[in-house]
Copies of this chain bind each other. A is one copy, B any other.
Amino acid sequence: MNPDEPLQGLWCATLSPLDKRGAFDAARLANHAQRLFAAGVDGIAPFGTTGEGQSFSVAERRAGLDALIAAGIAPERMLAATGCAALPDAIELTRHALAAGCAGALVLPPFFFKDVTDEGIYAAYAGLIDGVGDNRLRLYLYHIPQVSGVGLSVAMVSRLAAAYPAVVAGVKDSSGSFDNSRELVAALPQLSIFVGHEPHLPALRKLGGAGTICGIANLYPRLMRRLYDSSLDSSPGGELPLIESVIAALMRFPIFGALKSLQAELSGDAGWRALRPPLLPLSAADAGALNRAVAAAGIVPGRDGA
């Protein structure tokens, strides 16, 4: 991938499969990624929020990325989530992802302390960029305040992009606020703005946004591909209401357990059900209820599924 080509398209924030001992199962994820690519997904973002990235140590995240590449996943189709609570850890993981040839690094701000200032968040990202010290870095800022507790204002992003124009390449806006995504696209037309909330993809692309890095692509990559490809059509296809129904069904349950439960159901591989504490698998009763709710949404297995 040409680092001077702005990133766009349909990227999957991959779930992280665990083996029976609770370790990151890179082989299973590599197989999953190949199926996603075959179904039209452009790239994957491992170890993000959907991928329980913060539940894995720095050593596990390094080794996991290396194992994915060793298993045949092209690094230029990976946007590695490398944010950490501690800046030195984020610098280490970001350097590693860059050295591995990844398309970029998707980075949360330090997220332990709350009520931090824009100035402090700016200093943290500047410290990361300076700490990595390599202008080949392509940095994607990760805005997911409802989970991280630390949001990225458009003003802070603008200041950082102005100070580091070669490095700051985009934003993943997982806030769920389309107003915020619209503001980002308007203020920063030179950046690749991605949404996390899948239903916002068509409207974002109409404004010139780059695409989506999302969780539903794990489950319904073909459906997401059709949504992406029809985003600029004047009359909407039927994908949007299907995706909204699936999200509504998932949101009735603890979301991370629900995503993995449905992944297990759709893939026929119960191994996907496991999560690392503090997240837990869905109960059998909840898993059954989720499957029924999704079935009622009218998705055609095979056509819409992975």
Contacts and interface: CB of A to CB of B under 8 A. Distances in A.
Q: Number of copies of this chain in the oligomer? A: 2
A218 B24 CA distance: 41
Contacts of A56: 86, 88
Contacts of A119: 280
Interface in A195-215: none
A54 B278 contact: no
- Bin the interface of chain A by size: 35 or more
Interface stretch (A6-14, A147-155, A227-235): A147-155
Contacts of A60: 86, 88
A159 to B, nearest CB: 14
A177 interface: no
A277 B113 CA distance: 10
A121 B58 CA distance: 21
A43 to B, nearest CB: 23
Interface in A72-89: 84-89
B110 A278 contact: yes
Given A120-B278, A127-B277, A278-B150, A88 B57 contact: yes
